[in-house]
């Protein structure tokens, strides 16, 4: 945008500053495209600190820009360019327009659920006053790492008191002070930790430190009383034909009452001792007598304190025959000195932090096995999630970071800068825990045939965004080089930090810990609240991040007491994060506050009322939300309405995919809101029904012009429907009761569907039966893909069908979700829907040709030339891939329509009783 263009835009800013770009437009397509690029995905930012349910940065950028910019169409191309590139130049030009739009002052933007700080970061890039609050101290720290400290000027700070912090002339190395000093600090920590722990991690014969160790838990057999290891896989490294690598595996040998692990070349010849037992879960087989122990028995051993950690093998380095002067990862048995060192640690070498123990002793909340799976096996506090030496290793790192902090402050480095630097080190420790507990497995790539590349690494302990895995054979990273080690994990954070800092401009955001239901700001002081609230029952944020919290506070309890002080943000008696005020639906009730659906809605409503309190009269609330469950949407929208907001728009972006490969959140929606007028009229449901339908159908024309996909139009319709709904204080039905909110969620989606003009031989859509409308709608929308239960329920509601109406009759269920059934139903009758008759016709064609198809039509008592039936047949042929079995059959039926119609008429003339059902067991008999 040229200076002249910017000036022209500034002159055309509407006097009504309530109007914003988001009210009429959002760069949906640009966001969709940017989400798959480095500039828009947010992957780099996420690498600095792990947080949950992270949104692509492009969506946050678009939400901030469209909320602060005026409703001027000339802004659109410039916003799209900024969303796609994220360049400082593009954002700087738009920031001038934002400032002019607010009369020359810097607007205040608040995110009251700031999480890792993506929205505050994007506001900070524009140079506005950016504020973020979050209940979790871990999330608040993540926000500071991303949106506060990187935007400060640290160039006046003295050099760090460690070797390598300055070059010969005393100048800071590299291009950014924070990135360079963070690297120096990490190197110093690595050197000190290695020096302190060498006696516990002896070097190999060549003097090199191994990169890791494989462990297993053993337990006594109920039958022979001998102790045996629980091992789920004997593979160490798969073979790889391309490099003539035979691979390596474990072999378990037995001598009397003793067992030992041997490392052999090739694929495993024995069987693991802890394997799946079908529907009953896993079971353990004694290595000595073969006795099988059920999963319940195995767990009971843990609660009885009968587990023991056993070192199995060393992960070392060997010469790579294919590449000179390079090494490859190999495995070997432990030497006796290594075995002794692995089992002996001296806890007296670690110091307490105030009243905190040097390693975590906080109890894992009871019944929390869905988040921390190890707690279901008798590991009841966070320190027990690691083996003793591993826990000691992490305690040593935490102590070393504290020592470095004290030395920096003593050397004259400011407290603020020292806090920032050690916080990045604390982040590295937190990220290191992701590959460092009893859930960290040896991840051997490749396969037993040797056709795949066979690199090895350590797997992530998070099975999804909020569940910590557990297994008995786990992997421990060493103190030298290699996967999962301090140096390796540090590098995966320091590189993204340097990338993040490159070209970053703006004003530091202000991140603080606070309860969204009691925002610590005065009335009417905020111009825009832009937030990404907790997602209903998807993630229990505090429970998942307690895993980080217990370790981070052992570094920062006395360094950042506002976040990690012993009396800050903790649940009384547990020393964990505050969960009572966490706005989620909790799967397990552990006592205290019950986090059910009503709690979620009421608490979210309180938070939005707080947002309304701090907003200026012309302020906007923008909510980013994504969930596949209609109940979650209902609760969110009810909370907004209850808090006194009117929804003005909703804009979908395709940003999410579940770990199973099924779209659990197909779209994330950015919802624009304004404070509702003080005086609103009362309306009848019939009146509002018409207004919603007309508003949505009118908007569809604009969405189609803008290229918005049909699925996305369904989500965007929420804004149109809710805007009409929010205009009235009450909406009354004929019986005097108030119309429910979800009535208009459904009606909005129906209006989109009706406006999409399916053109089923030009027949009005409403003349088809409900189940057929549902199936045709599904086919148009999803084809043959599997979708989640929540989205399936949404589609059923559009035709006023309960999910039970369609679940088995029209949909096929799997553990991945639901897909449309195309197989023939078990029977057809006069009660069959048109879509079921069409499916039956396809099945009948394969069984008995024209006569069988005619029998189906006659049995269902359809007229042979029924336009609805043949329209559905045509629609299925059009929508299904030509190779599909049903499509092939229906295509053949279309080619024989005249013969089938004649046969069906003849069958109808025989007056088959209407109560008769035609089953496919007797289909051939009937047709012959």
Residue 919 to residue 900: CA distance in whole angstroms: 19
User: Could you tell me the CA-to-CA distances from 711 to 183, 374, 717, 722, 782 in Å, in that order?
Assistant: 46, 40, 10, 18, 9
Are 555 and 141 contacting, i.e. CB atoms less than 8 angstroms apart?
A: no
Which segments within 602-705 are labelled E, that is strand? Answer: 615-625, 645-653, 668-675, 681-684
What span, in angstroms and rounded, lies between the C-alpha atoms of 563 and 512?
A: 8
Other beta carbons within 10 Å of 893: 22
Q: Is the dihedral of CA 90, 92, 98, 101 positive or negative?
A: negative
Contact 363, 450 (CB under 8 A): no
CA 607 to chain centre: 23
Question: What pLDDT does 583 receive?
Answer: 85
Which element (helix H / strand E) includes 886?
A: helix 885-895
Element (H, E) at 697: helix 685-705
Residue 380 CA to residue 385 CA, distance in Å, equals: 8
Distance CA 222, CA 126 (A): 66
Sorted by sequence, the CB contacts under 8 Å of residue 203 that are 6+ apart come out as 209, 210
Query: Using CA atoms, how far apart are residues 695 and 765, in angstroms rounded to an integer?
Result: 19
Bridge partners of 109, per DSSP, are 130, 528
Q: Which residues of the chain have pLDDT under 50?
A: 1-17, 166-172, 656-665, 758-759, 911-928
Domains, the chain, ranges and CATH?
Answer: 3-150+508-540+582-673 (3.40.50.150), 212-344 (no CATH), 681-797 (no CATH), 827-927 (no CATH)
Residue in 285, 286, 282, 245 with CA at minimum distance from that of residue 267: 245
Residues 6+ apart with CB under 8 A from 925: none
Q: How many CB atoms within 10 Å of residue 794?
A: 21
Which residue from 462, 783, 816 is spatially nearest to 663, judged by alpha carbons? 816
pLDDT given at position 555? 96
Q: What's the CA gap between 272 and 285, in Å, rounded?
A: 8
Scan for tokens 């197989």, then name that residue: 823
Specify the pLDDT at position 914. Answer: 41
* Count of other CB atoms within 10 angstroms of residue 661: 9
- Looking at residue 892, its pLDDT comes to 87
Do residues 302 and 377 lie in contact, with contact meaning Cβ atoms separated by under 8 Å? yes
Please name the helix (run of DSSP H) or strand (run of DSSP E) that holds residue 258, with its range, or none.
strand 258-265
Q: How far is the CA of 113 from the CAs of 532, 583, 911, in angstroms?
A: 6, 10, 67
The pLDDT, as a whole number, for residue 669 is 84
Give the C-alpha separation, 286 to 299, whole Å. Answer: 15
Task: Name the pTM for this structure.
Answer: 0.82
Using alpha carbons, list the distances in angstroms from residue 372 to 287, 361, 365, 437, 715: 29, 15, 9, 11, 34
Nearest-angstrom CA–CA distance, 503 and 498: 10
| CA–CA separation, 779 and 810 (whole Å) | 11
In contact, 474 and 441? CB cutoff 8 Å? yes
Q: How far is CA 357 from CA 30, 267, 305, 360, 829, in A?
A: 50, 44, 22, 6, 72
């Amino acid at each position: 945008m040229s200076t002249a263009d910017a000036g022209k835009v500034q002159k055309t800013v509407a006097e009504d500053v309530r109007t914003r770009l988001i009210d009429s437009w959002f760069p949906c397509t640009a966001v969709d495209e940017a989400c798959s690029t480095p500039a828009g995905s947010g992957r780099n930012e996420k690498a600095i600190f792990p947080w949950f349910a992270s949104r692509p940065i492009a969506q946050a950028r678009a939400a901030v820009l469209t909320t602060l910019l005026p409703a001027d169409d000339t802004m659109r191309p410039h916003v799209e360019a900024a969303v796609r590139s994220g360049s400082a130049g593009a954002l700087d030009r738009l920031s001038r327009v934002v400032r002019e739009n607010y009369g020359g002052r810097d607007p205040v933007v608040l995110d009251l659920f700031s999480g890792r700080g993506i929205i505050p970061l994007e506001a900070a890039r524009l140079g506005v006053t950016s504020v973020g609050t979050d209940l979790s101290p871990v999330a608040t720290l993540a926000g500071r790492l991303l949106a506060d400290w990187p935007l400060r000027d640290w160039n006046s700070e003295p050099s760090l008191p460690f070797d390598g912090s300055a070059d010969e002339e005393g100048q800071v190395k590299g291009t950014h002070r924070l990135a360079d000093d963070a690297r120096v600090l990490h190197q110093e920590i690595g050197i000190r930790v290695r020096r302190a722990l060498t006696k516990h991690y002896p070097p190999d014969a060549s003097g090199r430190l191994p990169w890791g160790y494989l462990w297993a838990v053993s337990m006594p057999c109920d039958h022979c009383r001998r102790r045996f290891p629980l091992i789920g896989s004997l593979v160490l490294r798969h073979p790889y034909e391309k490099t003539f690598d035979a691979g390596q595996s474990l072999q378990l040998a037995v001598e009397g009452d003793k067992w030992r692990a041997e490392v052999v070349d090739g694929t495993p010849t024995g069987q693991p001792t802890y394997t799946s037992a079908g529907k009953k879960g896993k079971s353990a087989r004694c290595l000595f007598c073969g006795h099988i122990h059920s999963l319940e028995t195995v767990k009971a051993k843990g609660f009885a304190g009968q587990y023991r950690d056993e070192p199995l093998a060393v992960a070392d380095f060997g010469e790579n025959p294919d590449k000179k002067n390079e090494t490859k990862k190999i495995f070997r048995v432990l030497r006796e000195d290594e075995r002794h060192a692995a089992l002996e640690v001296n806890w007296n070498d670690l110091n307490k932090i105030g009243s905190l123990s040097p390693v975590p002793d906080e109890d894992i909340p009871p019944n929390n096995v869905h988040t921390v799976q190890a707690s279901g096996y008798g590991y009841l506090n966070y320190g027990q999630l690691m083996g003793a030496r591993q826990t000691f290793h992490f305690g040593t790192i935490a102590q070393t970071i504290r020592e470095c902090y004290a030395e920096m402050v003593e050397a004259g480095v400011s407290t603020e800068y020292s806090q920032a630097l050690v916080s990045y080190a604390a982040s590295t420790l937190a990220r290191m825990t992701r590959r460092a507990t009893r859930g960290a497995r040896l991840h051997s790539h490749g396969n037993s045939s040797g056709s795949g590349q066979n690199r090895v690494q350590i797997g992530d302990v998070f099975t999804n965004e909020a569940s910590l895995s557990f297994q008995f054979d786990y992997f421990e990273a060493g103190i030298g080089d290699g996967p999962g080690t301090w140096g390796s994990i540090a590098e995966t954070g320091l590189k993204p930090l340097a990338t993040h800092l490159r070209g970053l401009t703006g004003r530091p955001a202000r991140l603080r810990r606070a309860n969204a239901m009691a925002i610590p700001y005065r009335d009417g002081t905020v111009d825009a609240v832009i937030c990404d609230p907790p997602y209903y029952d998807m993630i229990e944020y505090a429970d998942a991040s307690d895993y980080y919290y217990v370790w981070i506070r052992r570094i920062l309890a006395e360094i950042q007491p506002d976040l990690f002080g012993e009396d800050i943000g903790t649940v009384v008696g547990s020393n964990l994060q505050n969960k009572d005020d966490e706005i989620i639906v909790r799967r397990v009730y552990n006592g205290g506050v019950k986090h059910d659906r009503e709690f979620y809605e009421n608490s979210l409503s309180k938070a939005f009322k707080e947002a309304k309190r701090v907003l200026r009269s012309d302020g906007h609330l923008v909510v980013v939300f994504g969930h596949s469950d209609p109940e979650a949407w209902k609760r969110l929208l009810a909370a907004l309405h209850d808090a006194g907001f009117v929804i003005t728009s909703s804009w979908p972006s395709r940003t999410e995919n579940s770990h199973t490969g099924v779209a659990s959140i197909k779209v994330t929606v950015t919802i624009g809101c304004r404070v509702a007028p003080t005086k609103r009229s009362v309306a009848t449901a019939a009146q509002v029904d018409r207004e919603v339908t007309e508003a949505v159908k009118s908007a569809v024309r604009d969405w189609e012009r803008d290229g918005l996909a049909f699925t996305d139009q369904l989500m965007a319709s929420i804004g149109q429907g809710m805007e009409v709904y929010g205009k009235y204080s009450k909406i009354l039905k004929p019986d005097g009761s108030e119309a429910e909110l979800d009535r208009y969620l459904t009606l909005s989606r129906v209006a989109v569907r009706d406006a999409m003009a399916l053109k089923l031989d030009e027949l009005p859509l409403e003349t088809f039966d409900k189940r057929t409308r549902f199936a045709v709608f599904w086919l148009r929308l999803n084809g043959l893909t599997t979708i989640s239960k929540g989205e399936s329920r949404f589609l059923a509601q559009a035709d006023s069908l309960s999910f039970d109406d369609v679940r088995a009759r029209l949909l096929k269920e799997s553990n991945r979700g639901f897909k449309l059934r195309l197989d023939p139903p078990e029977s057809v009758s006069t009660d069959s829907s048109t879509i079921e008759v069409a499916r039956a016709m396809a099945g009948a064609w394969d069984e008995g040709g024209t006569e069988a198809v005619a029998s189906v039509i006659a049995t269902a008592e359809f007229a042979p030339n029924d336009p609805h039936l043949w329209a559905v047949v045509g629609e299925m042929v059009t929508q299904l891939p030509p190779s599909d079995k049903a499509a092939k059959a229906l295509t053949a039926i279309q080619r024989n329509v005249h013969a089938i119609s004649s046969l069906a008429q003849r069958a109808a003339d025989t007056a088959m009783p209407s109560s008769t059902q035609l089953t496919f067991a007797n289909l051939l008999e009937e047709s012959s």
